[in-house]
Structure 1
Amino acid sequence: MKLSVLFGVIQMIFGVCIKFSNDTYYRDVLDWITVCIPQMVFMICFFGYMDWMIMYKWVTPVAQDPALNGAPSLINTLISFGLGQTDKQPLYQGQFTIQKWFMIAILLSLPLMLLPKPIIIGIARSYKAKKAARRAAAAHQDVEAQSLLPKDDKATEEPAEPGMDEMIMQGSLESTGVMSPIWIYCAWAVLFAITLGVLMFMDVLECTLHTLRLHWVEFMSKFYMGDGYPFVPYRHFDIIKNELEG
């Protein structure tokens, strides 16, 4: 169990390191300061310190040290660490002082991790919304000015391209490659069935599900946001139109 905790914390710290690498590559100073640094401080000062105590207890002959009065319990040590109390059975000399500084670093990292980024993003969005409103007002004034100009009766609209639906259907039926729309729809059905089976029936495999959750959520959330983007319906007409216009 303790070995699993060691590997789990190492994986989480590795995920934060990947987050550091991504923010450095994309030059995201906001995430680098308000997400990466406080996350790393929290991980090392709490979970990293817990792993260090586990390994220290493994390699230290605690029973031979009369000052420690026997082997201390790591659970009691963590409880005393969280409550800021002096441990009756310290694991090493000067433990209370070190834990006090670790707790101060943890308490400082929490507001830095939770507050600055939403506030800065909210201010930026408000500024962009006001800027877009000013542009829309200016464009509306331009439209009103153009509506006062004399109209050209000879102006005609460009006729729509005929036979587009027939061309799309014929191309879909004639295509036999891997990227054929028919194969894509069939593959989607298979993927949906697998996803449904994983979500609905794999819950009985508690350990497997817990492992996947740790990897997908706890590990990947350190460097992958997955916020998504606005939904745009898939239309063959739009794709062909963009190809023709490009």
Structure 2
Amino acid sequence: MGITESPCRQEEWRKKLGSFMEMLFGGRYVLLLMSLFSIYCGLIYNEFFSVPFHIFGASAYKCRDSSCRDAHTTGLVKFQEPYPFGVDPSWRGSRSELPFLNSLKMKMSILFGVVHMNLGIMLSYFNAHFFGNSVDIRYQFVPQVIFLNSLFGYLSLLIIVKWCTGSQADLYHVMIYMFLSPFDNLGENQLLWGQRPLQVVLLLLAVIAIPWMLFPKPFILKKLHNERFQGRNYGMLNISEMDLEAEPDSARQHHEEFNFSEVFVHQMIHAIEFVLGSVSNTASYLRLWALSLAHSELSTVFYEKVLLLAWGYDNFAIRLVGLVVFAFATAFILLMMETLSAFLHALRLHWVEFQNKFYHGDGYKFRPFSFALLTEDED
């Protein structure tokens, strides 16, 4: 067990640090992790303060014209193997920089979102397994996994295949006509062998998963309630019997009074919310793309329109003012305000898109661990 400081010692530290430094000191581990992840992201984009660096070797692209100096006007052509790690720095400043990075960041946001939501659904399985609730596993966890991955898991697979093969297929067209015309020939948009029958099967699975989530659970709960209060054995349902004395009053009342219409409406709301939320939640992860784009453009503006503009004058005072403005803009806008904005968006994604897959908040009141509470309980 670690050594903890006394309350008097902690109060003394607060007085010495002040309110602002106390906040930084309290979040020192969060700041350390954020710094490490920012370095990693810088390596992913091969940039430092929005300046591209060829850290991992020469670029895979060169100017279309061998005598050119401006990639903005002539474009780039590929002449060797892809860049070994991260984004090729030569995309920076090219004519196709924005379309390329927009497409890359948008697809990465979708991949992160699908993985994150699948993780939330997996946690709902562990919740149901812990409480021995096989009804939630069979009629909630399984159809949710099938529905999400039949649509957006399939989209993630198409994104990865398109990256690996370099195909020019239009994924918007593929996903839209998967619903409108599932039996039509895909033509240039075909990425996989047997893609058309695979899409039909996935679409049928997604349609089947909706009533699977909606209808069985309320009827099974009604049957379980009737058998319980008629004194019959319901072990065949593989649901563990809970100790009513240890349950909250709301849970105990639920066992005593079963309102089928209320349970059915609640399950219907939950099913509709998951089905519609699968679309809106996946789209909500595109905020990662928007934040990255905004941060990149702000970095570019401060670097090119402040620092480089001031450095273009042969005057020490102007250069000093430009350097000071660039330093303060970087520290207070990019590092502080942008960090707060990213934190709030990440908090929102965790609370809404991630935790609504497994967290209900209708059990016991949360009591955080505290040594002070342990001593009070002992007394």
Offset of residue 76 of structure 1:
0.5
RMSD over equivalenced CA pairs, Å: 2.9
User: Which residue does the alignment assign to 1:58?
Assistant: 163
Q: Distance in 2 between matches of 1:108 and 1:79?
A: 19
Structure 2 counterpart of 1:114, one-letter code: L
Contact 1:84 1:100 in 2 (8 A): no
Offset of residue 223 of structure 1:
1.5
User: Which residue does the alignment assign to 1:215?
Assistant: 350
User: Which residue does the alignment assign to 2:145?
Assistant: 40
Offset of residue 82 of structure 1:
2.1
Unpaired segments of 5 or more residues in structure 1? Answer: 63-70, 134-204, 230-242
User: Which residue does the alignment assign to 1:163?
Assistant: none
User: Which residue does the alignment assign to 1:11?
Assistant: 116
Q: Distance in 2 between matches of 1:102 and 1:14?
A: 21
Unpaired segments of 5 or more residues in structure 2? Answer: 1-105, 230-252, 258-339, 365-376
Distance change >3 Å, CA 44–CA 132, structure 1 → 2: closer
Judge which range, 75-84 or 28-37, deviates more: 75-84
User: Which residue does the alignment assign to 1:74?
Assistant: 171
Identity fraction in percent: 35
Deviations 1:89-123 (A, max 9, x none): 32223211111111111111111112222333345
Q: Distance in 2 between matches of 1:10 and 1:225?
A: 21
User: Which residue does the alignment assign to 1:2?
Assistant: 107
What are the within-5 Å matches in structure 2 for residues 93-132 of structure 1? Answer: 93-124=193-224
Distance change >3 Å, CA 116–CA 84, structure 1 → 2: farther
Distance change >3 Å, CA 84–CA 25, structure 1 → 2: farther
| Greater relative contact order (Cα < 8 A, sep 6+) | 1
Offset of residue 42 of structure 1:
1.2
Deviations 1:26-57 (A, max 9, x none): 11111000111001111221111111101110
Query: What TM-score results when the alignment is normalised by the length of structure 1?
Result: 0.53
Higher-Rg structure is 1
Distance change >3 Å, CA 132–CA 13, structure 1 → 2: closer
Offset of residue 17 of structure 1:
1.2
User: Which residue does the alignment assign to 1:91?
Assistant: 191
Moved over 4 A (4+): 122-129, 205-210
Query: What TM-score results when the alignment is normalised by the length of structure 2?
Result: 0.36
Q: Distance in 2 between matches of 1:36 and 1:21?
A: 10
